[in-house]
Amino acid sequence: MKMKNLLLLFLLTALMGSCKKDDGTPDEVIIVPPRSLSEVADEDDAEIKAYLETHFYNYEEFDSPPAGFDFKIKFDTIAGDNADKTPIMDMPILKSETITVSSSDFGRDDDEVVDHILYYLIVRQRDDAEVVNGPTIGDYAVVRFEGSLLNGTVFDASTHVEARFNLSRVVRGFGNAIEYLKPGIGPFENGDGTVRFDDYGIGAVFMPSGLGYFSNTQSIIPAYTPLVFKVDLLSFEPDTDFDDDGIPSILEDLNGDGNLNNDNTDQDTEVTVFIPNYIDVDDDADGIPTREEIDIDELGNVTFRDTDGDGIQDHLDNDN
Ligand SMILES: [Ca+2]
Ligand SMILES: [Ca+2]
Ligand SMILES: [Ca+2]
Ligand SMILES: [Ca+2]
- The model's pLDDT over 61-104, given as tens digits with 9 standing for 90+, comes to 999 999 999 999 999 999 999 999 999 999 999 999 999 999 98
Cα(301) to centroid(ligand 3), Å: 16
Q: Of 213, 237, 261, which marks where a domain is finished?
A: 237
Q: Provide, rounded to the nearest whole percent, the portion of the chain with pLDDT above 90.
A: 79
Assigned domain for 275 exists: yes
Band (pLDDT 50/70/90 cuts) for residue 6 is very low
Q: Are residues 227 and 281 both part of a single domain?
A: no
Domain closes at, from 191, 215, 237: 237
- Give the whole-angstrom CA distance, residue 74 versus residue 275: 39
> What gap in Å lies between CA 175 and CA 139, rounded to an integer?
9
Helices (H), the chain: 2-16, 37-54, 59-63, 172-178
Domain of residue 279 covers: 249-316
Is 99 among the domain residues? yes
Same domain for 287 and 208:
no
Looking at the structure, do residues 193 and 280 belong to the same domain, yes or no?
A: no
How many structural domains are present in the chain? 2
Whether the Cβ atoms of residue 103 and residue 115 lie closer than 8 Å to each other? no
Q: Say yes or no: 155 and 102 in one domain.
A: yes
Give the SS3 label for residue 19: helix
* pLDDT band with cut points at 50, 70 and 90 for residue 2: very low
Residue after which a domain boundary falls, among 204, 237, 270: 237
Task: Write the pLDDT tens digit of every residue in 146-177.
Answer: 999 999 999 999 977 889 999 999 999 999 99
Is residue 115 in some structural domain?
yes
Position 194 in a domain? yes
Whether 244 is in a domain gets the answer no
CA of 284 from ligand 2 middle (Å) equals 7
How many angstroms is it from 89 CA to the middle of ligand 1? 31
Q: Does residue 59 lie in a domain region?
A: yes
Q: What is the mean predicted confidence (pLDDT) over 140-144?
A: 96
Pair 148, 257 in one domain:
no
Q: Do 158 and 283 sit in the same domain of this protein? A: no
Specify whether 47 is located in the same domain as 132: yes
Report pLDDT digits (tens) over 20-49.
344 555 556 666 668 999 999 999 999 999
In this predicted structure, what is the pLDDT of residue 5?
42
Ligand 2 (ion): residues with CB under 5 Å are 264, 266, 275, 280
Residue 243 belongs to a domain: no
pLDDT at residue 1 in the model:
38
Residues 203 and 271 in one domain: no
pLDDT digits (tens, 9 = 90+) for 245-301: 999 999 999 999 899 999 999 999 999 999 999 999 999 999 999 999 999 999 889
Do 202 and 120 share a structural domain? yes
The CATH number linked to 187 is 3.10.50.40
pTM of the model: 0.87
| Whether residues 114 and 232 fall in one domain | yes
Pairing of strands 154-157, 140-149: antiparallel
Q: Is 172 found in the same domain as 29?
A: yes
CA 34 to ligand 4 centroid distance, Å: 40
Least confident residue range of 3-17, 132-146, 219-233: 3-17
52 CA to centre of ligand 1 in angstroms: 30
Q: Quick one: CA torsion of 39, 42, 44, 48, rounded to 10 degrees?
A: -170
CA of 263 to the centre of ligand 1 (A): 5
pLDDT at 156: 93
pLDDT higher than 70, residue 225: yes
Report the separation in Å between the CA atom of 260 and the middle of ligand 1, taken as the mean of its atom positions.
4
User: Do residues 99 and 215 both lie within one domain?
Assistant: yes
Residue 19 has pLDDT above 60, yes or no: no
